[in-house]
Amino acid sequence: MKQPTISTRRRFPRIEVDLSVEIKAECGLVFTATTKNISQTGLLIVTDRDRFEQLTVNQRLSEKSQPAEVTITITLPMEDAASIHTQCRLFQFRRISRDCYHIGLEYMGLPEPEQDGLTRYIEGVITQGRDR
């Protein structure tokens, strides 16, 4: 696993970290992806072309369509093994290479205990980064 890096230009700090995330799409698609970064408001995942097309087909066909929604599950690498299980809205996507896409997901009402665990995780990573 690579060392996390921190971006603090936004309202909430974003940490670059590789975490495994299970994605369940409304269309029934279930797959595992890797995060590129995570914050208290959302995450960026890396996926291949097939998964990207399955998740975004309706969004790309019509400007009037509603953003795709997915359910995610992430187990944070913490002592108490905090876990996040919540609905997300796809809010951005970008092609990085022929078979690599970044998809930005925004949490839709992250429950308080999960928000607290995520905050502790992010603050812990930031603190460890400062202590180096």
Domain ranges of the chain: 5-115
Residue 6 and residue 48: Cα distance in Å, rounded? Answer: 25
pTM for the model: 0.83
Q: pLDDT tens digits, residue range 29-63? A: 899 999 999 999 999 999 999 999 888 876 655 55
Q: pLDDT tens digits, residue range 64-78? A: 457 788 999 999 998
Query: Residue 132 — pLDDT band, cuts 50, 70, 90?
Result: very low
The domain 5-115 having CATH identifier 3.90.1150.10: the answer here is no
Q: Work out the mean pLDDT of the chain and round it to a whole number.
A: 85
Tell me 107's DSSP state.
E
Residue 104 and residue 37: Cα distance in Å, rounded? Answer: 9
For the chain, what percent of residues have pLDDT higher than 90?
Answer: 58
**CB neighbour list of residue 78: distance below 8 Å, 6 or more residues apart:** 117, 120, 121, 124
